[in-house]
Chains A and B, each alone.
Chain A
Amino acid sequence: MMFKKLIRTMGLYKAQFISMIIMISLGIGMFVGFNMEWKSIEINTEKFFSDTGFADYRIINQNGYSAESLNKIKNLKNVTDAGRYISVNAEVKEKSGDSLALTVTENKKISSFLVTSGEKYNEKSENGIWISDKYANANNIKIGDALTLNYKNTEFKCIVKGLAKSGEHLICVRDESQLMPDYNTYGFAYISPAFYKKTIGFEYYPQINVISDLSKKDFTKEAQKALNNTDLVLSKNETVSYSQANGEATEGKTMGTILPTLFLLIAVLTMATTMHRLVAKEKTQIGTLKALGFKNRRILVHYSSYAFSIGLLGTAFGIALGYGVAYLIMNPNGMMGTYLDMPEWKLYMPWFCFIILPVIIAALTLIGFLSVKTMLKGTAADALRPYTPKKMKPMLIEKTKFFHKLSFGTRWNLRDIMRHKSRTAMSLIGILGCTVIMLGSLGMRDTMNAFLDMYYNQALKYESRIYLSEEATNEDIENLTKKYNGDWSGSVSCQIEDKTYSLDIYNVKHNLVLFPDNSTNMTKLTDNGAYVCNRIFNDYNLKIGDTFKISPYGTNKTYTLKVAEVIRSVSENIVITKGYADSIKVDYTPDSIYTTVKKDNIKSDNAIKNIQSKQKIIDSFKTFTDLMDTMIYLLVFGAIILGVVVLYNLGVISYTERYREMATLKVVGFRDKKIANLLTGQNMWVTLIGVILGIPLGCLLLQYLLTSLAGEYEMKLVLNAHSFIITALLTFGVSLLVSLMVSRKNKKIDMVEALKFAE
């Protein structure tokens, strides 16, 4: 019988029942979804890296390594395996403008690939190529097709033997200036060492890839000692594929912590308010059950099971929603699929979810339990008396003349707000949550777009970047620079303590490459010192005017640099001018020329390795902004649902609580519309306060997100006026919509019924 009552109670309070389930589902859905996203990235990439033998370390020397050097590394203690390796960008002859990261790995257990279709990898094949399946699909390349790759005027005539995925090319980008993969124009390809040797006529491997569990510091020391050289050592954390995939997971963790916590907190608070009201409404029934002889324990179990059902259903739907959210982000054709190229896209839930979810259900049940417990205090006669809200006392503001000048409606609403503080507070929190999430999301978009716009449109003024070949002489460089009215740069990999950074030397005469400072201005490079990116500046606690030491790889030299200015950069680097480089006598070779001449108008030249047009990069990050936009829309949608559900739920509670008052107003002669306006007015005031408080909180959330993601991006908080306007309009829209939904019920107020009984 009590079970029947339980089901009927659910039916009776279906608005509250459903809205609480939606709230819990939303909270848990966001929590599970975002946490599954990063966990799935972590496990799937980890497995992929392990299956393809992703190297822990890369030792690099452009002079190349002999078999003897390789053995020295292999023989090191704590080195599990090692192999020589090369990966260069080769042009695809059949597809003008396309290039592939042509890769050869001598040891197929290290930095290798998985064949997704076609022939098994054959180390002895003398014409076979295994190319990125995504590139092949984007360019309609089939197994058996012939492909000619050109690298430094050497042609590799290949037959496509199979399609592949590779851990080393998980995020397949040309260089760090490209944010997103673009498989229409760029992919990777593997050929066998035999084919490689046959084509170039000798063995040239500028890299040894190593599997080892040593720390970078120890490994570098050991390797450099064994090779008797200070060759560049890069750990996997310094590769694009590994660090960016990790970055995605970290980003997911940050998002998985803040937003779902906000959603869950609001859900639990709403649950507490609603359960209290619901039980208060059931007080006489509780009294009746008590008077009939039901023990407190049974009544407690009865109402707690109501809360438990909400928790259980909410969690079940939430997990389903979480899977949906995670799948939307994490599937090969979804958002993350445009970024990561890996074979498995299984979804995993972090272990703590299995603990937190039951804890949430328990907490919700406890809320139900505690709400009933207060109603059960005292005798059965006490319980039988209906719940009486607190008596009305005059507020402080009532002593002012101003208060009495307010309209009747305003005074009525103000007193209602004071009388039902917790309900008002909850509405306020709902609106705050809605505003904060919306503003935070839209702000993230503004910030990211502003950064991209500033970086690619204002800082990089060139049309094409010419990559110089290793053979280019100083004379070639000078001639090309003159010919194309270009600026040039060169890079040296160097160490600060045990981390690797790029020291970029620029010769900027035509302002084709500029460097943004921490406001949006462009720094004018001088010969007075080094321009350090934010991350290095902060990581080493530098100040302007401080000096710090760097040591380029492959040398035993150390240079002392003075910090001239802080700049914002996409990669972690230090920028100096040619003049400053000359003054401290750093060795370097220019490797790029920047020009306003379009790619098609640049003639091929032996000194030119490759030409990249800026437009290609800009096109590629359109995918990135699309991906981000989807996330933002998802969050804004979530915020709207959150707002609607919280406000509707509280609106219904408020409507029930004020039913008698509204019935009285109706009897006295107030029209439905006038009563609706009174209620809407109150919501609008609460919304206004919520929006006013929510805007600074949204900015704080955004700042926090940016600080959390500072390891990946050097962005400055930007919030456009239209984001504020959209946030305010949407929040007011949500509030107005809910007010209209609730006040439509006014027409159904039964005046006769409402006024029959004593309050």
Chain B
Amino acid sequence: MNLVEFKNVSRIYKTGDHELKALDNVNLTLKKGKFVVILGPSGAGKSTLLNMLGGLDSPTSGKIFINQKDISTLSNNELADYRAKTVGFVFQFYNLIPTLTVHENVSLVKDIAPYALSATKMIEEVGLIDHLKNFPAELSGGEQQRVSIARALAKNPEILLCDEPTGALDSKTGVLVLKLLLKMAKSYNKTIVIVTHNQNIAKMADVVVKVKNGKIISNEDQQNPALVDDIDW
């Protein structure tokens, strides 16, 4: 069964008289439990695709089905519930709440996600059990991204959406974060979608979707994805 299905999805941004087609009649299906990488240069439309998938934005035309449910027509509140239950986000710039501690940043999802996992356990799994009471500003970039992963997974979502998760990190830390993402996704059996312009990350994926000028130019399964350690970063 398809987890994700995009049917003729377009997204047009209007500024004054200008129209920008960020997505142009996109059709895409993704299966459950896969590690998907959406690859493309800046401005290709890959983040727009991810935002549609995450319920942060709605299509100008076309339909998006998640578990066969159309999310393109949901109201604001229904979209908020969808984000709370179905997807977890990991951003390039972590987006932690600076006034909350590590533990609080992760456990805040308990208020909204019905099947939330233990925040402490998640933090322990990302290796930050000693930093429970620290504020984000007291952590390194890599550590902050690990908190962000813990927060995304604590909601126990079906899909983990990552927008350039290693974009703000040095390559060594980036590798560690990727390893962690893969490990966590495997052990919790999550579908993971990463948006990046980094070709190396694509080598690890089960599915690589290439995007250019708002269109999908290829959607290929990789039979033998590379291991993180085998890739020359």
Contacts and interface: CB of A to CB of B under 8 A. Distances in A.
B66 interface: no
A669 B81 CA distance: 6
Given A666-B80, A672-B80, A415 B100 contact: yes
Contacts of A408: 100, 104, 107-108, 110-111
A499 interface: no
A664 B111 CA distance: 14
A489 B113 CA distance: 84
B56 A415 contact: no
Contact of B93 (A411, A668, A672, A757): A757
Given A669-B84, A752-B56, A664 B112 contact: no
Interface in B72-112: 76-77, 80-85, 89, 91, 93, 95-101, 104, 107-112
A141 to B, nearest CB: 72
Contacts of B51: 752
Given A408-B111, A669-B82, 6 more contacts: A393-B135, A412-B99, A416-B99, A667-B54, A758-B93, A759-B98
Contacts of A664: 95-97
Contacts, number: 94
Contact of A668 (B89, B99, B168): B89
B97 A755 contact: no
Contact of A669 (B91, B96, B107, B109): B109
Interface in B156-174: 168
16 contacts: A392-B98, A392-B136, A408-B111, A411-B104, A419-B98, A419-B99, A664-B95, A664-B97, A667-B56, A667-B89, A669-B113, A674-B111, A755-B95, A758-B168, A759-B93, A759-B98
A755 B91 contact: yes
A394 B133 contact: yes
Nearest to B108: A408
Nearest to B81: A669
Given A668-B83, A668-B109, A751-B56, A412 B77 contact: no
B190 interface: no
Please classify how large the interface on chain A is, using the bins under 10, 10 to 19, 20 to 34, 35 or more. Answer: 20 to 34
A757 B167 CA distance: 11
B57 interface: yes
Contacts of B151: 668
A393 B135 CA distance: 7
A392 to B, nearest CB: 4
A747 interface: yes
Interface string A668-688: 111111100000000000000
Interface in A621-680: 660-661, 663-674
A391 B93 contact: no
A755 B54 CA distance: 14
Interface SS of chain A: helix
Contact of B135 (A391, A411, A667, A670): A391
B155 interface: yes
A392 B99 contact: yes
B217 interface: no
A85 B135 CA distance: 86
Interface in B48-72: 51, 54, 56-57
Contacts of B80: 666, 669-672
A674 B109 CA distance: 13
A661 B108 CA distance: 12
A668 B108 contact: yes
Contacts of B56: 667, 751-752
Contact of B77 (A392, A416, A672): A672
Nearest to A417: B99
Interface string B24-58: 00000000000000000000000100010010110
A392 B83 contact: no
Given A660-B95, A752-B51, A758-B168, A669 B85 contact: yes
B20 interface: no
A671 B85 contact: no
A408 B99 CA distance: 11
Contacts of A668: 83-84, 89, 108-109, 112, 151, 155
Contacts of A752: 47, 51, 56-57
Contacts of A747: 76
Interface string A84-104: 000000000000000000000
